[in-house]
A and B are shown apart, each in its own frame.
Chain A
Amino acid sequence: TQLLEQSPQFLSIQEGENLTVYCNSSSVFSSLQWYRQEPGEGPVLLVTVVTGGEVKKLKRLTFQFGDARKDSSLHITAAQPGDTGLYLCAGATTDSWGKLQFGAGTQVVVTP
């Protein structure tokens, strides 16, 4: 089982600050997804990255896949209270047949 480690486990910041969440593994993944989960709800997909070095932007969120496809980062610029949530990374390999390996998640709290 490939393990995905996320850091930090918890992040509390003020509105307007920037933050970065990391997802690391010793294994290579063919694709990496980021999900956000709000209290009492299931995770919702934010983005999928598949190419080493790939960078994707979603409004104030920037996602990067490491060159070796073993790590990924999520950067939020000028965080807002609506960004509060649990951020989960999930990896897949060509032989995982649709199954995902999830990290433990990073809880982000943005206070006004």
Chain B
Amino acid sequence: DAEITQSPRHKITETGRQVTLACHQTWNHNNMFWYRQDLGHGLRLIHYSYGVHDTNKGEVSDGYSVSRSNTEDLPLTLESAASSQTSVYFCASSLGTDLTDTQYFGPGTRLTVL
């Protein structure tokens, strides 16, 4: 069965370190998204991609970067981790840009920055 996976599921790091969160999907979807989820804020879009070599900034992109070298993967990098980036991070994918397309979410990565 097709799926979307994230690793690691839990990560503790220190302020200033570079951190990369992995996202891998086997749906063969064109679109991939990274969100962060914080209490009271719901899901906020960090970066997204419509295909290989395409990346775009979301509403909370400062301090984060992504690259898309193939269809399956969209790793999220925190260039220099800050305590404000402590959050739960979700990756999602969707087939296209139709208004009824479903976004399929991974299980999330809980990141703690000390």
Interface of A with B (CB < 8 Å)? 1, 6, 9, 30-31, 33, 40-45, 48, 50, 88, 90, 92, 94, 97-100, 102-105
Residues of A within 8 Å of B105, CB to CB, are 42-44
- Minimum C-beta distance from A22 to chain B (A): 15
Task: Output the nearest chain B residue to A98 by Cβ-Cβ distance.
Answer: B97
B76 vs chain A, min Cβ distance (A) = 15
Given contacts A88-B43, A92-B99, A104-B42, 20 further A-B contacts (CB under 8 A): A6-B42, A31-B100, A41-B107, A42-B90, A42-B105, A43-B43, A45-B102, A45-B103, A48-B99, A48-B100, A50-B99, A90-B43, A97-B50, A98-B101, A99-B33, A99-B48, A102-B43, A102-B44, A103-B42, A104-B40
**Is B108 touching A40 in the complex (CB atoms < 8 A)?**
yes
Show 18 residue pairs from A and B whose CB-CB distance is below 8 angstroms, ordered by the A residue. Answer: A31-B100, A40-B108, A41-B107, A42-B105, A42-B107, A43-B43, A43-B90, A43-B103, A45-B102, A88-B42, A90-B103, A97-B97, A98-B96, A98-B98, A99-B48, A100-B103, A102-B35, A104-B41
- Tell whether A94 pairs with B99 under 8 Å between CB atoms, given A42-B108, A43-B43, A99-B33: yes
- Give CA–CA (A39, B7) in the complex, Å: 17
- Per-residue 0/1 for B11-55: is the Cβ within 8 Å of any A Cβ (1 yes, 0 no)? 000000000000000000001010100001111110010100000
Bound-state CA distance A79–B110 (Å) is 30
* Complexed CA–CA distance, A40 and B50 (Å): 27
Question: Could you tell me the distance in whole angstroms from the C-beta of B111 to the nearest C-beta in chain A?
Answer: 15
Chain A residue at minimal CB-CB distance from B43: A102
Interface size on B, residues (CB 8 A): 28
Contacting pair A98 B31 (CB below 8 A): yes
Residue B94 interfacial (CB < 8 Å): yes
Q: Point out the residues of chain B lying under 8 angstroms from A9, CB to CB.
A: 40
* B1 CB–A CB distance under 8 Å: no
Expressed in whole angstroms, the minimum distance between the Cβ of B50 and any Cβ of chain A is: 7
CB distance from A73 to the nearest CB of B (A): 17
Could you say which residues of chain A place their CB within 8 Å of the CB of B48? 98-99
